[in-house]
A and B are shown apart, each in its own frame.
Chain A
């Protein structure tokens, strides 16, 4: 085991001597954490709205004012006809059209049913559906308010009252930031050890190690430990950015998060080593790692919920360890879950980590 100490010292010295890696280890998490949450957002804001007001009454004016007052909409154009408004949508200048029919105010006062027409550009389906949803809410609030002023009971007597649990303001960043921490671990802890080993292969230094009595377990352990510690450091930096900039509270125990992070980054490092065992050139390793990275990012519920995937894909996610870590991160950060709630995720993460590490050691060949 004495050799392990020397191998670790070597890793540290090589890392320090590298002109690029220490910078990458700091800049990459900073970039991801400070820039990405503002870009990778599904919050629908600033929906461009074209209004065709054929009523031109004080009521329709009040309604339009109320819509403008909400920060979701930009009142883009006031058009005379629906066709004109449609041209704006076709040009991409507008996302939604609201048509207020002639005689709305009159019908309203007379107690006649009123129909307001909304057309949404659904090329971006999220924007379309969320935008028309917001507009619906504003209009129905408006009509309830009007009825109340008239001294009537609301036309729709059942009032919905929704409380959003765990993320009361529906802040998309609360969903994204824990996910971005995982993205950082997937990218850095997967790629760095892979690069390192394949570079040793290309330089021939790995052969110089293979001809010594260093056990392959020791060699792999030196890589896992070094990149594990480095990964934890990067994770910590990113985590505190999440805490201080985005106020990701962790409602749960920070120890639970770290336990999950350790298991996960060891898994990522092990899969990186496994890939490098079978790669002769850096290109091979990079493309193979890239394949795994894409799979992990798109199929683990990082960006899109697993529940909305097709059924076979949902089953497939069970063999993807990031899935468990994603669940751990979100549950602890937002819901405050503990080990007792997440034992299954921890168990699975541990099993995958252990299996992958064993595979990384077994497939490493000192003698060809």
Chain B
């Protein structure tokens, strides 16, 4: 199977604190890869290294065929990213944000117009397209941020706790969008601490105190730990955690 992410012995230290402690894993093309862990386990730090936002202290990583240490800018052409904090321009309109990020990634003007029309229709945002983003409800914002992150059709999209702070209905809709994206051939790398969401993933890794403690499909993990749900699996694995809050 083709790998789009290959990580070996990746380490990130901040002073004496080792946020990411020697992790290694691969992500296959087209899969939904769940990157699970408690708050402070090092998920976001690891993801930021993969996106070329943060230099690894040591170890190596290949994302979409490029080295995250030396070819971060090439990596950035191949990926989409939705950060934990909502980070579209809130003072711009829905359409402005789509045009801006589409344009930045080099999508042609005609393509931007076509795709944004489709997108707005699909999200049922057409009547809101000229609204400032800050006036949208939280769930809508998240959906928009996700749509912008995949607007330029990247190879891989990184989602950092995309469903934080949204209601269960919106969360379901959100995961439908993620599943559709994966179906269209975009690899999804998603962090979350909602264990029920792990069930949607093809494979999940469980991170505890900067280490990856387990990595397999949800089925296999449940079998291995004799657990009924991913939540139970996580409880068993995270029992030894020191950093959880």
Contact = CB atoms under 8 A, between A and B. Distances in A.
A111 interface: no
Contact of B87 (A18, A208, A366): A208
A214 interface: yes
Interface string A319-352: 0000000000000000000000000000000000
Interface string B70-111: 001100110101010111111110001001110111100000
A367 B91 contact: no
Contacts of A17: 91-92, 132
A14 B88 CA distance: 12
Interface stretch (A4-12, A267-275, A297-305): A4-12
Interface in A162-213: 203-205, 207-213
A2 interface: yes
A2 B103 CA distance: 7
B53 A211 contact: yes
B83 A10 contact: no
Contact of A368 (B53, B86, B101, B105): B53
A204 B91 contact: no
Interface string A13-56: 11001100000000000000000000000000000000000000
Given A5-B103, A213-B76, A366 B88 contact: no
A367 B86 CA distance: 20
A3 interface: yes
B81 A213 contact: no
Given A3-B103, A6-B100, A210 B91 contact: no
B54 interface: yes
Contact of A10 (B51, B81, B96): B96
A213 B76 CA distance: 5
B53 A13 contact: no
Majority SS of interface residues in chain B?
loop
A212 B103 contact: no
B194 interface: no
A366 B55 contact: no
B191 to A, nearest CB: 15
A367 B69 CA distance: 9
B99 A207 contact: no
B88 to A, nearest CB: 7
B210 interface: no
A3 B105 CA distance: 8
Interface in A207-240: 207-215
B90 to A, nearest CB: 7
B52 interface: yes
A227 B89 CA distance: 19
Given A367-B53, A367-B54, A367-B55, A3 B87 contact: no
A2 to B, nearest CB: 6
A271 to B, nearest CB: 25
B106 A10 contact: no
Interface string A80-106: 000000000000000000000000000
Contacts of A18: 91
A208 B100 CA distance: 11
Contact of A207 (B55, B83, B89, B101): B83
Contacts of A13: 92, 96
Contacts of A5: 103
Contacts of A212: 76, 101, 104-105
B54 to A, nearest CB: 5
A29 to B, nearest CB: 24
Contacts of B99: 6, 9
Interface of A: 2-3, 5-7, 9-10, 13-14, 17-18, 203-205, 207-215, 366-368
Interface of B: 51-55, 72-73, 76-77, 79, 81, 83, 85-92, 96, 99-101, 103-106, 132
25 contacts: A2-B103, A3-B104, A3-B106, A5-B103, A6-B100, A7-B100, A7-B104, A14-B89, A14-B92, A17-B91, A207-B53, A207-B87, A208-B81, A208-B87, A208-B88, A208-B101, A211-B76, A211-B79, A211-B81, A211-B83, A212-B105, A213-B73, A213-B77, A366-B52, A368-B53
Given A205-B87, A211-B52, A368-B55, 13 more contacts: A2-B106, A6-B100, A9-B100, A17-B91, A17-B132, A208-B81, A208-B83, A208-B88, A211-B53, A212-B105, A213-B106, A367-B52, A367-B53
8 nearest A-B pairs in the assembled complex, by CB-CB distance: A6-B103, A204-B87, A211-B81, A204-B85, A208-B87, A213-B76, A17-B91, A213-B77
